[in-house]
Amino acid sequence: MIPYGRQDINQADIDAVMEVLKSDFLTQGPKVPAFEKAICDYTGSAHAVAVNSATSALHIACLALDVGPGDRVWTSPITFVASANCALYCGAYVDFVDVELASGNMCPKALSKKLALAAETGVLPKVIIPVHLAGHSCDMQTIGDLAKQYGIKVIEDAAHAIGGSYQGFKIGACQYSDITVFSFHPVKIITSAEGGVAATQNAQLACSMASYRSHGITKDPAILLRPDEGDWYYEQHQLGFNYRMTDLQAALGLSQLTRLNEFVSKRNKFAKDYKLALSGTDITLIKPMANSESAYHLMLVILPDIADRKTVFDEMREKGIQVHVHYFPVHLQPFYLNFGFKVGDFPQAEAFYQRLLTLPLYPTLTTSEFSYIVKNIRLQLYSLTAINQ
């Protein structure tokens, strides 16, 4: 089976992990801060807090921005469920902003309308979480300007987007946001097996997230509330979690980070090849916006009206090609229906989902695998057209 995505681990990655295994620290050693510093250097963020997943990073990002019971958080319905769940962990309400049909990203027009309405009724969100679907940046300038206007904080869910850029800045520079979250799950751009980072330009937010990451405890003499009783002494100031990244994970992340540009350029090369190979068909490609470069986590395509997505999907799987669909709209998940969401709430997201298909895209895809995928998807479309004529 040709998977829709997979990691690329080389000998240097393996050696980096082995080195930590033989060292004094498997966790809470030097590799985690080194990884955080490397993320800062790469993205241009001043601070980075490494954790055990992007899901944890989203949670501590919400907590640091003071999201609590009764607050509201808005995100995109076309995303992985973690983008929405983080608000519920904090006891907040989740709502969604409809997406643009062309990109599947949060629609600035829909956001503007929804904010104006919410301002009238006094139910503005505290935080909005735009998601850079497939690695393509959202319209962050417009979203950021709207957030400023209404006094709302912004978390970029950049789980798909490390290595991409927007207006000449790397994703993670937080030009129009308070915090940017990355994922290092093996299917994403670079991996630490499991892992995530929350990047920010704000020292206070970084400090708060670091506290939530590790039980809410501190040894920092500058912020102790009681007299320091000695080297064993620490204080718990708030309720935190054990969301720490291990040194094994950080070492893998560090090694992978040195290969990030290579991964992103290979992904972009395949994206370009797909564009060429599918030109002249009725397939529409999801494109990054102008003035941005995508990390191309996913190759999302929109099938033509005549195509039955399920048939195309099944036939491709039958051929050993693990096509996928990213994502089923979150508001229609059975769990989210419990909150009163229903079909028709976010029509663009629902329409976007209907004809969506994810084609395989990852750095180690071979040219013969690529040709095989293209041949089969073209065959699918050809036979559909033939049937319909």
Ligand X SMILES: *Cc1c(COP(=O)(O)O)cnc(C)c1O
The residues of the shown chain that bind ligand X, judged by CB under 6 A, are 53-55, 79-80, 82-83, 131, 157, 159-160, 183, 185, 196
Nearest approach in angstroms of CB 79 to ligand X is: 5
For ligand X, give the closer residue by CB, 194 or 247.
194
Residue at token pair 């329409």: 351
Nearest approach in angstroms of CB 196 to ligand X is: 5
For ligand X, give the closer residue by CB, 333 or 385.
333
For ligand X, give the closer residue by CB, 43 or 55.
55
Q: How far apart are CA 337 and CA 96, in angstroms?
A: 13
Closest CA to 283 of 362, 389, 359: 359
Nearest approach in angstroms of CB 86 to ligand X is: 9
Nearest approach in angstroms of CB 129 to ligand X is: 9
Closest CA to 95 of 381, 330, 255: 330
Nearest approach in angstroms of CB 136 to ligand X is: 12
Cα–Cα distance list, 312 to 271, 283, 298, 316 (Å): 20, 12, 18, 6
Nearest approach in angstroms of CB 210 to ligand X is: 18
Q: How far apart are CA 269 and CA 215, in angstroms?
A: 43
For ligand X, give the closer residue by CB, 82 or 115.
82
Q: How far apart are CA 159 and CA 171, in angstroms?
A: 10
Q: How far apart are CA 78 and CA 99, in angstroms?
A: 7
Nearest approach in angstroms of CB 82 to ligand X is: 4
Q: How far apart are CA 42 and CA 161, in angstroms?
A: 13
Concatenated DSSP letters of 280-320: TSS-EE--PPTTEE-----EEEE--TT--HHHHHHHHHHTT
For ligand X, give the closer residue by CB, 61 or 206.
61
For ligand X, give the closer residue by CB, 298 or 365.
298
- Cβ contact 164:138 at 8 Å: no
For ligand X, give the closer residue by CB, 183 or 380.
183
Closest CA to 79 of 330, 336, 299, 287: 330
